[in-house]
Chain A
């Protein structure tokens, strides 16, 4: 089993990396790009047979406390 956590900067937070990459894409001629947001992707391996609901609860807790900073970031959790 695997948990995937995608962390992105909150909309209100300045994202200079995203802005720089967006400008680079425009310079390269890619049109229609209205925004680039750079975040983090974390993969967590879970023991086979782990209870999905319990893992979801625990990982949400971990994502809130450690994996993301709720002041500046949003996250999305997927377990498969």
Chain B
């Protein structure tokens, strides 16, 4: 770190004591470097100030531009009408009588009447004030009048009410009525006008503000921004149109379960994956299985399929192997090292390195073991990086250059190899922890959607096509508080909520139009909802959300636990089978070797005395052609299953044991998940495996035995089988036929030992078959999760790319 930055900062911030300040200023006169640094630092502060001012100004611009844009609303074109306001429910319809009655007083209780009042026919409806009523006028205006909507001097009116409507919705009617279309002298384009008033016993009634009459007017100018003006009678007999109001569209609710509340592209992606998207139960279960905070990386099954054939050679990497098999590290190793590692790291490394991605003097060490060369490279480098750089190691030189050729301490002599390993374990663990914390997005958790995508929310603002659309935009924000805003304001109008959201989401530049402003501009209305009911729904939602969260979390955990146990079982079974198989092969080989020896000695006219073979017979490479011991020839012949053709030079006698090829091809082999073939020799205690080659199953037959062959095919849980009673050199083709488990018993008749082993082999194959299916299913599921992840949590699609900290 630069030695001046701190002191300069204190000097500029006035944090220095008087003496220090004097000393500093004195130093400033002579020390040119300090002077330059001071200048730079002052400028940086100015730069920060500039950036700060700009930021604040921009915030203001955004607000200003938003206001300016919403202001344009008032330039719209117009429908005209008299006193009307909002909303309500529908019960029965009425028809009207028509006559042109002239009253003495108008609705304002004065005698001023206009030409229009005289010219237009009145439609009079008699309604009952304490019932919900819907009426439709001749011109098509629909009025929804809730019960108790009328007031007489601020007290509720019940009983019969006379509702008088006059309408001029066509140009002809407007002309006839002599209605003007000016608003304070400005000419308006009209979509029609109507007049409404209500009376009871010749007393004019007013409309209760908290009820309102929801009025829908036929719109003959779709697309134009019509507004509602109040008419004011003028002394010249004209009407001046004042007080414009925007129309709102009342929303229609639909069955909430028929709406699509999944994130964008969710269903399409599932479909591409071959999932039946019409099965909502299934798609729901997939969606809801994404739990907020669920750690995906911990259970990465796809990388850990166990390769049975190579299992035995891996004992040296058993620690690593077990790490992968059971999905977690060997706890004891990690915990022991962790403590030491943390302390050692702090003492030796933390000055120059962070365990995150942050670069200090040296690079951040998150994920370091993944990026450096494998093997012991990292340990060697930490112990003595100078040596490695000098030795010309490519990677060592690369990072040396990347980090400005800064020297790193040589730890050889200070730290042991075990110490360094402990440090590496510690860094690995930290990396793991960091991964965990960033791979747990809590954007719009599926449980939140689960809680509202529920029949209970039918007939609310959420059960509308309009909300469905907003939800898609909400998903993009990755911000659940936006969703909450809609839920908490379900009794408000949609556009009011849109407007709040739009203002909340001041986006990048102050002149960009965010989606929610577009929504706002549509002026979508609301769905009326009783306050108490809404509160209940919200409480219901909160509670459900938590329950769902916990339920899914524990279900997922149980599932993973179960799989871990099954993995462990399968692993153990494979090891057991591997050991058993080793012994069996060994035994059968010895038996065949003994038979061959006896026969060879017989042919040579000698007596065979078995000598024990030392060491591991499988590793024998002692055999060479110059060796004159017949045992070796027989051994080699038996090992390679090729014909023995030996002449004893002393006696001239020959020993010949023939091996001849036999092969089995299987009809429609590709129809089976897997096929295995065995030879069952009459004189040996167990079976022999045939080699699976491109041209069928092959093996050489020993002329001393007579063989049968058995072929098993597996398809799902079904077993197919065919027996070749007498296997003779040459090739045969067989078709497999289905068999039941009980039929396996028939192989007991072939050869007691062989059939016993065969039954157990078959059982093992069945287990293997089942386990492969299980693995495939898991892999498929995890693949699906990986693929759906970025769709469910769009803002956390690539957690590894998230920069953790500055620079």
A, B co-complexed: no
Give B residues with C-beta under 8 Å from A.
none
Give A residues with C-beta under 8 Å from B.
none
